[in-house]
Copies of this chain bind each other. A is one copy, B any other.
């Protein structure tokens, strides 16, 4: 690892998205042929049609890596973010919200192209969220947006798997990974979503093997990656390929594998209101702990507590005061 002290604990790279959240009944999900709990990519026309059918929503900044960066910053980490919004009102909202929690956000907005991405999120009465993403300006994020100085100045460059959906972002991802390693830094990846893993399995397999130091995945994602029904088998494979595999298992807690070390982390019980951002907050807690050089078990505990806080309220980014209290406690 690099001899120069990093300026940032964490650099997140992801699709910069504004969430539109609305409560719906289960019948809305089935009527619109959605995969409950998943993320689907939609075009402009579908986005317009679906939005017209949706109940009133609330808008808030989202994006998987964006949420992770915001939560990690509120937990005290020094954070930067790279992602592409448009030069429009929703882009201003995204920029405001991530900068307001102290995240460095150097990416220039897209001018004269597609609008800022939005994710139409339906929250069913069981607290599950079903997402429909219109990528908009995100499809223009490419290697040119990867600020080499920021990558070199970040202890960990963290990327969301969703970044593999827009093709230019795949190249940006690999470019960032190479820059990070050339500077002696770590590369982290979240697999994001089982459907996303199915879409990009071969690329993800190569990526994990060749470029990833810290891997985040839940049970369906890690078994999808290694095409097995056995979580144990998938976990062993992940542990053999990356420095640290951080594997969540929902209500069963999580397991962290680092070489021969294996740490079981207990789940934190809470009332589920909305699962939006649960995995993002988990990664944020882990990486904020990792930045403070906490033992892996404590990184896992902070991760579980951050995730529990996020799912106990509506939306993917809880108020700063609650996270600050958690970081102190």
A interface, CB within 8 angstroms of B: 23, 25, 51-52, 54-61, 70, 88-90, 93, 96-98, 100-101, 115, 314-315, 317, 319-321
* Residues of chain B lying within 8 A (CB to CB) of residue A315: 58
Residue pair A320, B58 in contact (C-beta under 8 Å): no
Given known A-B contacts A23-B319, A23-B321, A93 and B59 have beta carbons under 8 A apart: yes
Can you name the residue of chain B whose Cβ is closest to the Cβ of A115? Answer: B89
Q: Give the chain B neighbours of A93 by CB distance below 8 A.
A: 57, 59
Chain B contacts for A317, CB-based, 8 A: 56
Q: How far is the CA of A317 from the CA of B96 in the complex (A)?
A: 24
Please indicate the chain B residues that have their CB under 8 angstroms from the CB of A25 in the complex.
321
Extra contacts, 10 of them, besides A55-B101, A58-B315 (Cβ < 8 A), are A23-B319, A23-B321, A56-B96, A56-B101, A57-B93, A58-B58, A58-B60, A88-B88, A89-B89, A89-B90
Closest 3 pairs (CB-CB, A-B):
A56-B97, A59-B59, A89-B89
Using Cβ atoms and an 8 Å threshold, which residues of chain B touch A58? 58-60, 315
Give A38 Cβ to nearest chain B Cβ, in Å.
23
Which residue on B lies nearest to A96, using beta carbons? B51
User: Which of the residues B23, B51, B52, B61 comes within 8 Å of A56, measured between beta carbons?
Assistant: B61
Cα A61 to Cα B20 with chains together (Å): 12
Taking CB atoms, residues of chain B closer than 8 Å to A319 are 23, 55
How far apart are the CA atoms of A51 and B25 in the complex, in Å? 34
Chain B nearest CB, measured from A191 CB (Å): 26
- A93 to B54, alpha carbons, bound, how many Å? 12
Which residues of B have CB within 8 Å of A89? Answer: 88-90, 115
A120 to chain B, nearest CB (A): 11
Specify which chain B residues have a CB less than 8 angstroms from the CB of A314 in the assembled complex: 314
List 11 interface pairs A-B (beta carbons < 8 Å), by A numbering. Answer: A52-B96, A54-B100, A55-B100, A55-B319, A56-B100, A57-B96, A58-B59, A58-B60, A88-B88, A89-B89, A89-B115
Report Cα–Cα, A315/B88, bound state, in Å. 24
Complex Cα gap A99–B267 (Å) = 42
Q: Check if A70 sits within 8 Å of B97, measured CB to CB.
A: no
How distant is the Cα of A213 from the Cα of B93 in the complex, in angstroms? 41
Complexed CA–CA distance, A321 and B125 (Å): 11
